[in-house]
Amino acid sequence: MGVECLEEIMKKLASILMAVVLMVAMPLATFADNLLDSAELFVDAEDDEKPEGKDRSEKKEDRDEKKEDRDEKKEDREEKKEERDEKIEDRQEKKEELESDREEKKDEIEAKRTEKAAERIEKFNNKKKIDTDEEAVKNKIEDLESLLERLENFLGEDEVEKLELELAESEEETEGTDIDTESESDTESDTEEETDTEEETDTEEDPAVASAKEMFKKYKEDVKASKDELKTLRNDAKDLRSEIRDIIKADYTEEEMEALNTLVEELKVEFDDIKVLGVDNIISNKAEFKFDVPPVIKGGRTLIPVNAISKGFGADVAWDGEERKVTITKDDKVIEIWIDTNNATVDGEEVVLDAKAEVLSDRTVVPLGFIAEALGLKVEWNPEDETIELNDDSDDDDDDSDDDDEPEDETNDSDDESTETE
């Protein structure tokens, strides 16, 4: 019983082992067959691709030709690389030349600007000397006229009329042509008689009166000479202002001047009550500024572009679109101006403007008198050439600006015809 069971077990194990062997052997046989088939195909393909009639020398020639082609392509690549390098060098040289030209032009512009600034300052210094001389002459005239008034009261109206008549006749004789010699001889005896009469009168005249007459004549001549000197000084100052204006205009390009002239014509059409000033009508001893909108006189008040003026004198300008407000800051001073109103503040204190701030061609313009006072500027209006001087005299000892006339007070009598920017 035990033997039979053992045999049965052995048979089953043999069957299982055979099955395992068959399972392993069959895939291996299949793999081997496939491998052989692939090898045969490879050999067949190699035989098919093999050129007929080519020997080793032909293969060598082919390899040499391919090598030559590769060498030629390499040379072409090297040539192209050299061309690219040359182009890069050319571009670099041109770039360096352009940068050098730009630097030279920049230096030239800066040198010209420095030269013009120095020239402008020199002319303003000369003008300041003329202003000082003019003030001294004006004071001298006032003193002389005060003395003459006292002499007139002392001498009396009749005596003053006689003296003025004598001075007028003397002036006419001085300015007239030479008197005919024959006529002089005919009147010589009469003149001698008159002189004798005058000498007799003088001898009888009160010495105080005689002295007063002589002083009156002298002071009158001094007044006339001083007024002539004052006229000369004012003409010299006007010539200097003209030269300064030429320097200012030279800072504008032709395109900028054309744009300004076009804007002037547009402003004339848009506003009937406006007088346009030239951009060179505003001059300053220290600040440099350029306008893209010219200053104007409207309703007898001068309105000036706030951005250009404020920045020219070192202030910062900010725009608040929601409140339509301009804020100007310089040092510790803060100025706020609301557009289309007469409202403004200086360091928080409310100020009522005598003319509204408004917008002209996208630029805010404000009353000149207000902005000048707020920024501590001295304003001088020259009606002869409609020039406005804005001078910062904060560093100077002479800070008396109360006696200067502002253009707002002078321009009421100005012509309605606009002055175009030249």
What are the tokens at 255?
């395109």
Query: Distance between CA 9 and CA 4 in Å, rounded?
Result: 9
What count of Cα atoms within 13 Å lies in the side-chain half-sphere of residue 179? 10
What Cα–Cα distance (Å) separates residue 46 from each residue in 38, 51, 395?
12, 10, 103
Q: In 3-state terms, the chain is what percent helix, strand and coil (to 5)?
A: 65, 15, 20
Q: Residue 175's pLDDT band (boundaries 50, 70, 90)?
A: low
By mean pLDDT, which of 91-95, 188-192, 342-346, 390-394 is the weakest?
188-192
Q: Which residues contact 297 (CB under 8 A, 6 or more apart)?
A: 274, 275, 277, 303, 407, 411, 414
Closest of 340, 342, 363, 337 to residue 267, by C-alpha: 363
By mean pLDDT, which of 48-62, 137-151, 232-246, 270-284 is the weakest?
48-62
Given a cut of 60, whether residue 63 has pLDDT beyond it is: yes
Q: Over the stretch 295-311, which tens digit does the pLDDT of each residue have?
A: 999 888 899 999 999 99
Given a cut of 50, whether residue 406 has pLDDT beyond it is: no
Give 193 or 117, the one with higher predicted confidence: 117
Rounded to an integer, the average pLDDT of 34-46 is 53
Give 225 or 64, the one with higher predicted confidence: 225
Q: Which residues contact 346 (CB under 8 A, 6 or more apart)?
A: 333, 334, 335, 374
Q: Which residues contact 242 (CB under 8 A, 6 or more apart)?
A: 385
Q: What is the CA radius of gyration of the chain?
A: 52
Q: Residue 411's pLDDT band (boundaries 50, 70, 90)?
A: very low
Angle (nearest 5°) at CA 302 between 299 and 304: 130
Proportion of the chain above pLDDT 90, given as a percent? 27
Give 176 or 50, the one with higher predicted confidence: 176
19, with CB counted inside 10 A (0-12, 13-18, 19+), is exposed
pLDDT on residue 346? 94
Q: Residue 66's pLDDT band (boundaries 50, 70, 90)?
A: confident
Length of the chain: 422
Given a cut of 80, whether residue 371 has pLDDT beyond it is: yes
Please give the model's pTM, rounded to 2 decimal places: 0.60
**Residue listed under structure tokens 């100020």:** 351
Query: Distance between CA 110 and CA 106 in Å, rounded?
Result: 6
pLDDT on residue 137? 93
**Residue listed under structure tokens 């082919």:** 62
pLDDT on residue 351? 92
Query: Distance between CA 354 and CA 210 in Å, rounded?
Result: 56
pLDDT on residue 201? 47
What is the β-pairing status of strands 387-391 and 282-283? parallel
Query: Distance between CA 305 and CA 357 in Å, rounded?
Result: 10
Rounded to an integer, the average pLDDT of 312-328 is 91
Ordered strands of the 349-352 beta sheet: 316-320, 325-330, 333-338, 343-346, 349-352
